[in-house]
A and B are shown apart, each in its own frame.
Chain A
Amino acid sequence: MTTAALEQHRLAAGLASDQLDRLAAIARPADWAPGQRVFDEGGQAARLWLITAGQIALDLKVPGRATVIVETLGPGDELGLSWLSPVPRWQFGAVAQRQTSAIEMDSGDLIRLCEQDHELGYLLTRRLLATAVSRLQAARIRILDLYASPRQLPGRTP
């Protein structure tokens, strides 16, 4: 993987050239055709992808409701954070909705890299944390159901 391609993505933007080289050494391209599944819910979470083009849907099988899409991710987004959890299993499934490309890394390689180079590790952790915070905030806003009319909210008399 070239450092030029990596640098475009916000996770790696602005890193020192030796740090970029080390990341590039563990990164490789990945592609999916429309409809192709990236991973299944419950599977071993061991990869991180930096999406560069296309669209990925995070989904969940809910009995009686078929497969529900909980969020979509696109260029610039990170896919696959569950390996950061103590029990690294995919919380949701992921499927490409369009022709999609990404930069792929094994979480094991990434963790080893961070342990060897603590400064790089700190920077990457900060950036992944920022992504998690941003998604947490967005999820909380969606829970508020702001676009619902007063009649649709439970327990309110309009």
Chain B
Amino acid sequence: MAGPEQAATHWQMSAAGLDDLITALIAESYRVIGPHVTQGAIGLFELASARDLPFGWGVELAPGAYRLRRRDDSAAFGHSAGPGSWKQFLHPPRQKLWEADRNRGSTGFAIEQDAGSPARLAFLGVRPCDLRAIQIQDKVLGEPAHPGSAYALRRSAIFIIAVNCTEPGETCFCSSMGTGPAAGPGYDLLLTELAGQPHSFIVEAGSPAGERLLPSLPLRPADPVRLQDAREAVSAAARNMGRSMDVTGIRELLAASQDAARWDEVAARCLTCGNCTMACPTCFCTTVEDSTDLAGDHAERWERWASCFDLDFSRLHGGPVRSTGRSRYRQWLTHKLGTWNDQFGESGCVGCGRCIVWCPVGIDLTEEVAAIRAEGGDTGPSAVAGAAGSL
């Protein structure tokens, strides 16, 4: 990355440089995906130019509430917790796994997979929480657990432009989860937005691919004062989180709280609609669907997003194992914050707050965890905490 002979690892460009960035990416055969205002929200769409970015748009966030608001500056990335996350591109809501056709050969049917190469996508505007979310999904769905999988192939064709957070939303708690507001490693380029006049960005490369793009951008070495402003803005963001969650011993706490009274309380509010699982950038569960054509000679296997809130999700011997809403909410929260550690070695939550915003009844998991903690964590068999599938 930065050698001693290189004068600066931090660069600066004006907001107009975003156009050059997008042009350069398109010239490298990337399709650029980034935030875009539509239908009253900021979602992730393909961008043709920097004009498609939501300059001057911010959001007001609360449990069960999301509203666009006009900012008093022209920040392009002054928003968070949109309804979509990058998982819709890396782990699409529907994908065909393979198809098969009956043949007269000895195998009876031949299976074919789509051999097309994955789309080269540039993710512009990845928040630190979302960057960690991508890495969390990598661990579940990608290499090294599943080399050569569809996810791994898609992931290999992604260019990430992360954006440090300087203005956390009211529902954000990335600090508590250790995922922000500064971006960790894993980006190709990192931007820090300075939205005041003049509107500019601090730019850093985080990989050889990122380094290769720098000459295409109108950069100059970052002004030390502006660089300091940027650093302070990120530090200040850490102190201005909308919410916090005490995650001390949370895996053991949840394992020991299977019978907590709080589950009944939240179950009375939870609709089991599954919005949280769709909005969450790390939720990965899928269901497999097999179908044939009318003649029965051509079969396809598709995979689609599933939610542990579905009654059918845990179906066994004709009925659901988790039939009550109580058990399904408990499953989701315990998995996200607790047993994900047992299964994948880290927490499944990045503190993005989407589940709080997009819950129609405004359930706030930071509040739920605090309530469970207050109950004392002694409400159920605590031996679950030690289980690791050993004989």
Contact = CB atoms under 8 A, between A and B. Distances in A.
Contacts of B319: 156
B317 interface: yes
A113 to B, nearest CB: 46
Interface in B291-333: 317-319
Contacts of A150: 317-318
A153 B318 CA distance: 10
A157 B318 CA distance: 7
Interface in B186-217: none
A154 interface: no
A150 B316 CA distance: 10
Nearest to B317: A150
A36 to B, nearest CB: 43
A158 interface: yes
Interface residues of B, number: 3
A158 to B, nearest CB: 5
Which DSSP category, helix, strand, loop or mixed, fits chain B's interface? Answer: loop
B316 to A, nearest CB: 10
A150 B317 CA distance: 6
Nearest to A149: B317
A158 B315 CA distance: 10
A156 to B, nearest CB: 5
B18 to A, nearest CB: 57
Contacts of B318: 150, 153, 156-158
Contacts of B317: 150
Nearest to B318: A150
Interface string B339-365: 000000000000000000000000000
Nearest to A157: B318
A153 B317 CA distance: 11
Contacts of A153: 318
A150 B318 CA distance: 6
Contacts of A158: 318
Interface in B87-107: none
Nearest to A153: B318
Interface string A116-158: 0000000000000000000000000000000000100100111
B122 to A, nearest CB: 48
A155 B333 CA distance: 33
A157 B312 CA distance: 13
Interface string A11-31: 000000000000000000000
A156 B317 CA distance: 10
A37 B317 CA distance: 42
A92 to B, nearest CB: 33
Nearest to A156: B318
A47 to B, nearest CB: 44
A150 B319 CA distance: 9
B41 to A, nearest CB: 40
A5 B237 CA distance: 84
Interface string B279-297: 0000000000000000000
A93 B37 CA distance: 82
A158 B318 CA distance: 4
A117 B343 CA distance: 62
A59 to B, nearest CB: 32
A12 B364 CA distance: 63
A151 to B, nearest CB: 8
A153 B319 CA distance: 12
Contacts of A157: 318
A158 B316 CA distance: 9
- Nearest first, the 7 A-B pairs at minimum CB distance are A150-B318, A158-B318, A156-B318, A150-B317, A157-B318, A156-B319, A153-B318
7 contacts: A150-B317, A150-B318, A153-B318, A156-B318, A156-B319, A157-B318, A158-B318
